[in-house]
């Protein structure tokens, strides 16, 4: 559905008109003590250490080390720490490439691979290069023994349809009516495997090669049983021009599958004055870079902050589930598994805040003169899309974010907008906020973890927001929170 300029302006005006609820809303909540928060330097040192671990794909060495750090740190802070263990068939890509044989052989640049797609020997698989369509319209009739080239324009996320705004910060900013994130638009390669193709080459059509680089997308897919690799826009156009000339393509995707690989969820508990009511702060721990997922570093900072207060001043018990399996959903249930294992705890939970993707600056593709696309830092903070169907929770976050560095849209998911790791908690009846900034580099897995794209000042400011939010939550009764 196309958006007219008039409809876009109506949406933008509506959401920018949602301002500060009251002059008192920006005041610090009762009990808030900023001097107890960890310093920006302390938090950033943990962040840079985490980035140096490399991609934390579920259960790999970097992920295991990060999870152990979280468990050890929470225990040192005096929290009770429990572990929930899972096993699954971990798939690790080792080497990937694409080469073209013909009158003018060459080796195109591969921007990344399709996770859990398939694997080859060191020699790869070879077949005639054929064009199999542009997503979502594919031709699957004549692919036996061939390498299928498909074009993959990114999908549009229509925020104006998905969300209504509880509030916007800063009040004069305009929440986007739609976005075009760098996410793999093709979620299933099995139709190509069933049609007899030996491999799939997915060509981005409308993002820069810099934006496409190292994208680990789509994630949490079951094995596809056919190797898939991505190429950039210019390479895709060159390959499309070669279709029909008889050229042959060789795709290499060497990977290893580790059966029964272990991975753990960490649950840390900080008792409060009441054991009968719980506020839950959750996140996942696996992810490809420095922001996906650094929410657990935010939870460590919040645990340190609240642990410095006398127990009598903590109205409710705080529970910090830091789950595994966000990137291995077919086997590891992440927050769903935690909910299933802890039904009594969920009944006690009066509110939940899902903390994900902290410190993101905004990076966008810009079309230059001549049609070239340049990936650049816009100089702004990335939008923090804070999703909640709960008006009381939405209002509390609108209050808490005032005066922060955050650029936040606090929104109601009127048409099924995803709450991230908070979705299952919300479906279980817990008033939940899913705090989910969504930068283009969210799924990119370069060696440096995209650390240069993050802001230490913003990350610290967001953690301050969460501390204030918990205080505000504890200022309401359970009945008021569920209103």
Q: Is 444 exposed, middle or buried (0-12, 13-18, 19+ CB in 10 A)?
A: buried
Give the β-pairing of 125-134 and 248-270: antiparallel
pLDDT score, position 482: 93
pLDDT score, position 19: 46
Residue 318, classed as helix, strand or coil, is: strand
Residue 217 phi, psi (nearest 5): -150, 145
Which range has the top average pLDDT, 6-15, 224-233, 360-369? 224-233
Task: State mean pLDDT over 115-134.
Answer: 97
DSSP 142: S
Residue 154, classed as helix, strand or coil, is: coil
Task: State mean pLDDT over 171-189.
Answer: 93
pLDDT score, position 372: 85
Task: State mean pLDDT over 223-235.
Answer: 97
Give the β-pairing of 432-435 and 349-355: parallel
pLDDT digits (tens, 9 = 90+) for 278-326: 999 999 999 999 999 999 999 999 999 999 999 999 999 999 999 999 9
Give the pair of three-digit tokens for residue 242.
Answer: 């070669």
Measured between alpha carbons, how far is 467 from 48 in angstroms, rounded to an integer?
22
Residue 1 has pLDDT above 50, yes or no: no
Task: State mean pLDDT over 83-112.
Answer: 96
Residue 25 has pLDDT above 70, yes or no: no
Give the pair of three-digit tokens for residue 237.
Answer: 């156009």
Measured between alpha carbons, how far is 87 from 191 in angstroms, rounded to an integer?
28
pLDDT score, position 371: 80
Report which secondary-structure segment, H or E, holds 71. Answer: helix 61-76
Of residues 26 and 23, more confidently modeled:
26
Residue 63 has pLDDT above 90, yes or no: yes
Of residues 20 and 377, more confidently modeled:
377
pLDDT score, position 483: 87
Give the pair of three-digit tokens for residue 277.
Answer: 């009511």
pLDDT score, position 310: 96
pLDDT score, position 365: 95
The pTM of the full predicted model, rounded to 2 decimals, is: 0.93
Domain range summary for the chain, segments of one domain joined by +: 5-90+260-481, 91-161+179-256
Task: State mean pLDDT over 353-378.
Answer: 93
Residue 13 pLDDT class (50, 70, 90 cuts): low
Give the pair of three-digit tokens for residue 441.
Answer: 């580099």
pLDDT score, position 22: 42
Residue 408 has pLDDT above 80, yes or no: yes
Range 91-161+179-256: architecture per CATH: 3-Layer(bba) Sandwich (3.50)
Tokens 């080239």 correspond to what residue?
A: 149
Q: Which of 356, 362, 219, 214 is nearest to 294 (CA)?
A: 356
Using CA atoms, how far residue 411 sits from 168, 189, 394, 408, 476, in Å, is 8, 34, 7, 9, 20
Report which secondary-structure segment, H or E, holds 92. Answer: strand 80-101
Measured between alpha carbons, how far is 150 from 144 in angstroms, rounded to an integer?
15
Residue range 5-90+260-481, CATH number: 3.40.630.10
Positive or negative, the CA dihedral 124, 129, 130, 135 is positive
Tokens 């590891």 correspond to what residue?
A: 332
Query: Could you give the percent of the chain with pLDDT greater than 90?
Result: 90
pLDDT digits (tens, 9 = 90+) for 49-58: 999 999 999 9
pLDDT digits (tens, 9 = 90+) for 417-429: 678 899 999 999 9
């Amino acid at each position: 559905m196309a958006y007219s300029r008039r409809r876009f302006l109506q949406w933008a005006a509506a959401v920018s008109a949602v301002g500060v609820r009251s002059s008192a809303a920006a005041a610090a909540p009762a009990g808030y003590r900023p001097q107890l928060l960890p310093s920006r330097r302390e938090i950033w040192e943990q962040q840079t250490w985490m980035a140096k671990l490399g991609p934390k794909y579920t259960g790999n060495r970097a992920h295991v080390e990060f999870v152990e750090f979280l468990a050890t740190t929470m225990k040192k802070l005096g929290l009770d720490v429990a572990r929930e263990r899972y096993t699954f068939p971990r798939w690790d890509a080792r080497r990937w490439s694409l080469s073209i044989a013909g009158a003018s052989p060459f080796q195109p640049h591969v921007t990344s691979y399709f996770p859990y797609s398939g694997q080859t020997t060191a020699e790869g698989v070879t077949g005639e290069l054929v064009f199999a369509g542009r997503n979502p319209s594919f031709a699957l009739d004549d692919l036996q023994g061939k390498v299928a080239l498909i074009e993959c324009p990114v999908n549009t996320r229509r925020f104006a349809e998905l969300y209504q705004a509880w509030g916007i910060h800063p009040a004069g900013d305009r929440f986007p009516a739609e976005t075009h994130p760098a996410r793999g638009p093709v979620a299933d390669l099995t139709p190509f495997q069933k049609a007899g193709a030996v491999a799939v080459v997915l060509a981005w059509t409308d993002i820069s090669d810099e934006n496409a680089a190292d994208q680990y997308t789509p994630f949490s897919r079951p094995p596809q049983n056919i190797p898939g690799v991505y190429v950039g826009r210019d390479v895709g156009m060159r390959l499309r021009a070669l279709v029909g000339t008889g050229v042959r393509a060789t795709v290499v995707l060497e990977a290893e599958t580790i059966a029964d690989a272990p991975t753990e969820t960490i649950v840390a508990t900080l008792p409060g004055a009441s054991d009968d009511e719980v506020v839950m702060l959750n996140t996942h721990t696996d992810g490809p870079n420095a922001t996906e997922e650094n929410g657990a570093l935010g939870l460590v900072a919040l645990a340190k902050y609240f642990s410095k207060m006398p127990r009598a001043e903590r109205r409710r018990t705080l529970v910090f589930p830091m789950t595994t399996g966000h990137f291995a959903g077919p086997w590891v249930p992440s927050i769903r598994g935690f909910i299933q294992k802890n039904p009594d705890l969920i009944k006690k939970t009066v509110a939940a805040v899902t903390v994900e993707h902290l410190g993101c600056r905004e990076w966008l593709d810009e079309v230059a003169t001549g049609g070239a696309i340049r990936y650049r830092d816009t100089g702004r903070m990335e939008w923090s899309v804070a999703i909640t169907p709960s008006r009381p929770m939405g209002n509390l976050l609108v209050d808490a974010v005032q005066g922060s560095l955050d650029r936040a849209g606090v929104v109601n998911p009127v048409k099924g907008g995803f709450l991230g790791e908070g979705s299952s908690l919300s479906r279980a009846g817990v008033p939940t906020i899913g705090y989910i900034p969504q930068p283009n580099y969210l799924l990119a897995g370069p060696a440096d973890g995209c650390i240069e794209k993050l802001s230490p000042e913003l990350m610290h400011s967001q953690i301050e927001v969460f501390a204030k939010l918990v205080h505000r939550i504890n200022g309401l009764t359970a009945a008021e929170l569920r209103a």
